[in-house]
Structure 1
């Protein structure tokens, strides 16, 4: 009995405390509870109305449970998940009609994809070291190959490891009431440098910011946003371990544009920019930012089981202050299938003022003379690559690339690039679908207008998984 009395003491104390609470406070709690119950009843009525509206729109019986309605075929839409060469399907609830402009549009599918890419490379340069933290340390950047004066050349060897080119993408496709499709696409990687004092370096965190690669919307024949230039043929790019491989001979540019495609033809107006080399290269080249007219491109494409072939044209106006100049270029490229296990990929480009479009802006678009007048520079470049599949899991590639520029040394001086070339060979093994392990050996040379040259050798390996 003593134990029982002790066990009742907490209950007695609790009752005593409750009795001491002022009556006004108790009445206030009751009023609050009553108000909340009224609100809950209103919300339930609104929910019933929404369910009835949804049932009417989807043809579901009014008496069906909410769970049955959500699981019905009319309320589910397939979402395709991009897996870089393979695809799988998921199911995402379609929009619930709750009023104009609300919810996710019916008939919308979603795709996401990307890859994880680990790069490890050892580089030897004949004329000094490529500066740490610059693009040439992450991939082959032709303009970064060091060239030194005679007697100052010093051979250097160094290694770099990074995962900055890992990327992800997200896309949506929506079918409109009239049967047209609206596609939106955005893609980013980690090639964006650091965002604070400890980021973007190899001391502590190796943290890097996001870089926008693509962001565009496509409706019918029209595309608006940032993506590959219409002057570039990405389908012709070789299968490389390096980011681009034969860079100096490659047209490579992503920028904002408005594009129209009809059958084999496509036309675009794209973001303009003029790169300028000062007279006798007395200072670093610069971007003028004075352009008023967009760059204009046109492309024709034909393709089949044999591969593809395409021709593209580019027209530009250059502007620096009140001075203007004009330029234009052509590019021919494609892929030729030689059976199930072999293909040849190629590109040949050239023209006046092709500078920033070729070889990661290996040369300038224009040069200033002694009077400050601007003149367009001519340049040419190309590559050829052979791809061979030894087995379904093992493939190899051999590529050669070259670029040359018609510099007027009386205006440019002797320190600008005259030629650049590179060879590379690789082997890529895929032990599982979308999983690559590769190794690549490359040699490159850059020669200046004054005749000085420097070379680069690199052993590059990567591990890449696409999802």
Structure 2
């Protein structure tokens, strides 16, 4: 740790070097600055966290998404075409600021994180998280309150189980600690995240952002074993030249993790609702919250069911494997087109070697299948070889 202040030239240089060379996948972090406590015992710290990951992928069928498995992106009809892809775009770096009081609490903190998942396949920085926390309040962009980032195990794939509920959102969140094991949180989130499908021959209709999304999440457990119960109300707002309309979607989630011994653990998640597809890992922004019926001036919310099961096993302190399965199904109505995704699933297994605390390497096999409302199916298989180095 360094207790001297960084110059205005040193800080940008250090951040640039870390962004290029390092990356971290858990809660690994490295301290940059720690100030001396003031008269009231408060002090400030600045830290970096992240990881550098290099991936080599081999696809046996044509898929639209390269960096992570996205089952709905598999080309329909089936197109068996082998291809390889190399990437460092998963790499991430975050910069945090935190005030610590004399009791060890952190009443004020801020965090910014980027990855290299730029648009159009570039490796330009993309903002992932940017938020400020003050006591029980959080303001900014981070994982939606109606999400569970804890469900993800030791894997390499950028997406993992496609049926998981996980997305980032601008929000205002309030969290209350009910007991040593219980927390309850509520949020108002960006209504622009809601997406709907509007027929191309009706340009007079458009989606608009108006009423915030409302979420709640209850968590019971400790740092290892827990269960989460959550709910969301997701307004779908749309209009033509004459009038605006609102349709209310909803969703519920159960998510848990249970350790069977010191290392092995089981994770499970299921969710169901209507008009809440924005929360799904791979359907967010794809128009599956609602479908517009211009004849009746009504947006019909689409139902969505997801289920995910994950098991993580450690063969030894340095060797581990994860196996998981995920299934999702979209509900139908009269406005759904045959080209839209009806159901999708993916399953994976890996073998990871961790010779040092900060270094992981291994391989992962992922199978995915998709089916559209025209009852046409396609599947894909991917092999991924990865190495990641985190810093602390």
Specify the TM-score bucket, using the shorter chain as the normaliser.
Answer: 0.7 to 0.9
Separation in structure 2 between the aligned mates of residue 96 and residue 266 of structure 1, nearest angstrom: 32
Matching of residue 269 in structure 1 with residue 269 in structure 2? no
Aligned residue pairs: how many?
Answer: 355
Matching of residue 143 in structure 1 with residue 65 in structure 2? no
Separation in structure 2 between the aligned mates of residue 363 and residue 332 of structure 1, nearest angstrom: 24
Q: Offset of 1:407 from its aligned partner? A: 1.3
Separation in structure 1 between the aligned mates of residue 29 and residue 68 of structure 2, nearest angstrom: 30
The 1:218–1:308 alpha-carbon spacing in structure 2 relative to 1, beyond 3 Å, is same
Q: SS of the counterpart of 2:117?
A: coil
2:137 maps to which of 205, 222, 226: 222
Matching of residue 355 in structure 1 with residue 280 in structure 2? no
1:112 maps to which of 40, 44, 48: 48
Separation in structure 2 between the aligned mates of residue 344 and residue 234 of structure 1, nearest angstrom: 15
Q: Offset of 1:386 from its aligned partner? A: 0.5
Separation in structure 1 between the aligned mates of residue 374 and residue 206 of structure 2, nearest angstrom: 26
Q: Offset of 1:460 from its aligned partner? A: 0.7
- Please say if residues 350 and 363 of structure 2, whose CA atoms lie closer than 8 Å, have aligned partners that are also in contact: yes
Separation in structure 1 between the aligned mates of residue 115 and residue 373 of structure 2, nearest angstrom: 36
1:362-412 Cα deviation digits (max 9, x unpaired): 66100112514211111111210110000000000110000001111x211
Matching of residue 257 in structure 1 with residue 171 in structure 2? yes
Separation in structure 1 between the aligned mates of residue 223 and residue 188 of structure 2, nearest angstrom: 31
Larger radius of gyration: 1
1:25-44 Cα deviation digits (max 9, x unpaired): xxxxxxxxxxxxxxxxxxxx
- Please say if residues 424 and 441 of structure 1, whose CA atoms lie closer than 8 Å, have aligned partners that are also in contact: yes
Q: Mind listing any 5+ residue stretches in structure 1 that lack a counterpart? A: 1-69, 72-81, 98-104, 195-199, 201-206
Matching of residue 315 in structure 1 with residue 233 in structure 2? yes
Separation in structure 1 between the aligned mates of residue 201 and residue 375 of structure 2, nearest angstrom: 20
Matching of residue 419 in structure 1 with residue 339 in structure 2? no
Separation in structure 2 between the aligned mates of residue 297 and residue 239 of structure 1, nearest angstrom: 28
1:88-103 to 2 correspondence within 5 Å?
92=34, 94=36
Q: SS of the counterpart of 1:165?
A: coil
- Please say if residues 114 and 168 of structure 1, whose CA atoms lie closer than 8 Å, have aligned partners that are also in contact: yes
Q: SS of the counterpart of 2:119?
A: coil
Q: SS of the counterpart of 1:143?
A: helix
1:314-353 to 2 correspondence within 5 Å?
314-321=232-239, 322-353=244-275
The 1:466–1:231 alpha-carbon spacing in structure 2 relative to 1, beyond 3 Å, is same
- RMSD value, Cα: 2.9
Q: SS of the counterpart of 1:235?
A: helix
1:63-116 Cα deviation digits (max 9, x unpaired): xxxxxxx89xxxxxxxxxx9755666666455999xxxxxxx971111111100
Q: Offset of 1:291 from its aligned partner? A: 2.1
For normalisation by structure 2, the TM-score amounts to: 0.83
The 1:454–1:434 alpha-carbon spacing in structure 2 relative to 1, beyond 3 Å, is same
Q: Offset of 1:327 from its aligned partner? A: 0.8
Higher strand share: 2
Q: SS of the counterpart of 1:137?
A: coil
- The answer for the alignment partner of 2:112 in structure 1 is 186
Q: Offset of 1:292 from its aligned partner? A: 1.0
Q: SS of the counterpart of 1:339?
A: coil
Q: SS of the counterpart of 1:225?
A: strand
Separation in structure 2 between the aligned mates of residue 114 and residue 180 of structure 1, nearest angstrom: 21
- Please say if residues 214 and 234 of structure 2, whose CA atoms lie closer than 8 Å, have aligned partners that are also in contact: yes
Q: Offset of 1:359 from its aligned partner? A: 3.4
- The answer for the alignment partner of 1:130 in structure 2 is 63
- Please say if residues 29 and 47 of structure 2, whose CA atoms lie closer than 8 Å, have aligned partners that are also in contact: no
The 1:325–1:90 alpha-carbon spacing in structure 2 relative to 1, beyond 3 Å, is closer
1:141-183 Cα deviation digits (max 9, x unpaired): 22211112xxxx4311101001011111111112479986210
1:169 maps to which of 94, 119, 123: 94
- The answer for the alignment partner of 2:150 in structure 1 is 235
Separation in structure 2 between the aligned mates of residue 96 and residue 302 of structure 1, nearest angstrom: 36
1:334-384 Cα deviation digits (max 9, x unpaired): 101111231101110110102221132166100112514211111111210
For normalisation by structure 1, the TM-score amounts to: 0.71
The structure showing larger relative contact order (alpha-carbon pairs under 8 Å, at least 6 residues apart) is 2
Q: Mind listing any 5+ residue stretches in structure 2 that lack a counterpart? A: 6-22, 178-182
Separation in structure 1 between the aligned mates of residue 266 and residue 209 of structure 2, nearest angstrom: 38
